[in-house]
């Protein structure tokens, strides 16, 4: 005798109206039992959090899809404390120690504002003139611009030059407006949105670049020189540069946009920064990548911008290995997804004095010893930290300096409240409209 299979049973059930009701009852019963288990019997049952988040992953997915997940996690921490359960199998942390327990403790913490060892990014000193060139701005221009787009153009051009020794956008600013709009839409396809097309674009650029040899002085050159039989495969190189192109352009432009917005909202910070910049650079020729590294208030402004508006507020979750792991002094069961809630940790009252305020002075040691600066890891920590940290700082310092010394700017009314928006893998930035006028400072 042939026994009916699962497909036969399902076909029989859905063939009659009562079958739908039966399936609904079964599904409801399963979800109810699962929710009860998650809340009362799950290995993470002792960790606090909203009942619905502990019972089901649906709230997590809802906030993720709607772009409000970092904000929701922040609210959960504000209500429930340092360690919270944001989904049945997910924990979020505020403590600085969590960075090192989750991502791997480094031999020494970051000291100062930047990595001083030029061997970390040997291409940067030699390519400094290129970075400066793309940051050069015609200070005689004036008018209304969406500065967010232009910062994307600049950083994308820089990463294109450093990665592949090619320039994408240098000529676009001179195109007629209709053609320029078309070019912008093309750029949005592979530089700001569609990750699948990003991957194809990076693969094409890598394939073209691999045919050109190893003596061009870009990021690909040392890979080719060291790429023997134990080196990276073509596929690995393509994947790496897909990340570099997006992360090296979009995140930097995001932070610079946020910094300009924050400066427009805090005139006292803007005034102090301009005093430092005009004193340090009497002429255009005196501005270079090396000099801007040593400006304390410029660095403080950028650090505070990273704290208030981290370009990547996405929780970089890791899975606890089988057997568990100790995180912040507590044993966490294996299989748990753990992460530091970046936006929450960077703006928590547990870590900062006046956390919601933009105060660069806290990075200068001016009476802010109560701040837990160790929790500030915008590039993560450990062996998998952001490989583009040094490049990002170099770009941010130089581009911001050049912009501020060339232009005075005013935020237009339509861009007030600009920072209240959604987050997916990156922030979904609306237009940041500025009215620019030339600044008669540099010779």
Binding residues: 386
Annotated binding site for heme: 386
Tell me how far apart the alpha carbons of residues 90 and 325 are, in angstroms, rounded to a whole number: 14
Helix (H), strand (E) at residue 126? helix 123-135
Q: Alpha helices, DSSP H only, in 266-328? A: 267-280, 289-292, 296-308
Q: Kindly compute the dihedral angle of the four CA atoms of residues 283, 360, 299, 385, in this order, to the nearest 10 degrees.
A: -150
CA dist 120 → 92, 134, 261, 347 (Å): 31, 23, 32, 31
Rounded CA-CA distance 263/267 in Å is: 6
Q: Can you point out the beta strands (E) in 288-421?
A: 318-319, 325-327, 330-332, 337-340, 407-411
CB 376 within 8 A of CB 305: no
Q: What is the DSSP letter of 427?
A: B
Round to whole Å and give the CA distance between 259 and 53: 34
Q: Which two tokens stand for residue 253?
A: 């432009």
Q: What tokens appear for 438 in the block?
A: 């030339």
Please give the DSSP secondary-structure letter assigned to residue 378: T
> Rounded distance, CA 315 to CA 343, Å?
9
């Amino acid at each position: 005798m042939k026994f009916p299979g699962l497909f036969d049973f399902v076909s029989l059930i859905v063939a009659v109206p009562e079958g739908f009701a039966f399936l609904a009852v079964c599904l409801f019963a399963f979800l109810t039992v699962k929710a009860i288990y998650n809340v009362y019997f799950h290995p993470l049952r002792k960790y606090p959090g909203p009942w619905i988040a502990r019972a089901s992953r649906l709230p997590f997915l809802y906030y993720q899809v709607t772009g409000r997940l970092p904000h929701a996690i922040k609210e959960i921490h504000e209500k429930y404390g340092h360690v919270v359960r944001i989904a049945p199998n997910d924990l979020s942390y505020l403590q600085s120690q969590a960075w090192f327990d989750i991502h791997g403790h480094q031999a020494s913490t970051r000291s100062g504002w930047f990595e001083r060892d030029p061997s970390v990014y040997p291409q940067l000193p030699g390519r400094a003139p290129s970075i400066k060139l793309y940051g050069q701005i015609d200070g005689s221009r004036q008018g209304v611009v969406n500065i967010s787009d232009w910062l994307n153009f600049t950083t994308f051009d820089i990463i294109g030059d450093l990665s592949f020794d090619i320039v994408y956008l240098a000529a676009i600013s001179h195109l007629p407006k209709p053609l320029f709009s078309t070019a912008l839409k093309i750029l949005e396809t592979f530089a700001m949105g569609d990750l699948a097309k990003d991957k194809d674009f990076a693969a094409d650029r890598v394939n073209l670049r691999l045919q050109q040899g190893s003596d061009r002085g870009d990021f690909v050159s040392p890979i080719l020189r060291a790429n023997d039989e134990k080196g990276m495969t073509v596929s690995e190189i393509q994947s790496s540069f897909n990340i570099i192109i997006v992360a090296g352009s979009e995140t930097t432009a995001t932070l610079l946009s946020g910094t300009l917005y924050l400066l427009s909202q805090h005139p006292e910070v803007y005034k102090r920064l301009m005093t430092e910049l005009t004193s340090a650079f009497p002429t255009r020729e005196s501005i270079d990548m090396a000099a801007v590294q040593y400006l304390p208030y410029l660095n403080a402004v950028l650090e505070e911008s990273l704290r208030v508006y981290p370009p990547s507020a996405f929780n970089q979750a890791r899975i606890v290995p089988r057997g568990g792991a100790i995180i912040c002094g507590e044993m966490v069961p294996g299989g748990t997804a753990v992460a530091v809630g970046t936006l929450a940790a960077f703006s928590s009252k547990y870590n900062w004095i006046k956390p919601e305020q933009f105060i660069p002075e806290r990075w200068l040691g001016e009476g802010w010893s109560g701040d837990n600066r160790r929790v500030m890891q915008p590039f993560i920590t450990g062996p998998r930290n952001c490989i583009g940290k040094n490049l990002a700082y170099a770009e941010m310092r130089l581009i911001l300096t050049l912009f501020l010394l060339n232009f005075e700017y005013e935020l237009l009314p339509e861009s007030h409240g600009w920072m209240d928006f959604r987050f997916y893998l990156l922030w979904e930035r609306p237009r940041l409209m500025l009215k620019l006028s030339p600044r008669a400072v540099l010779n």
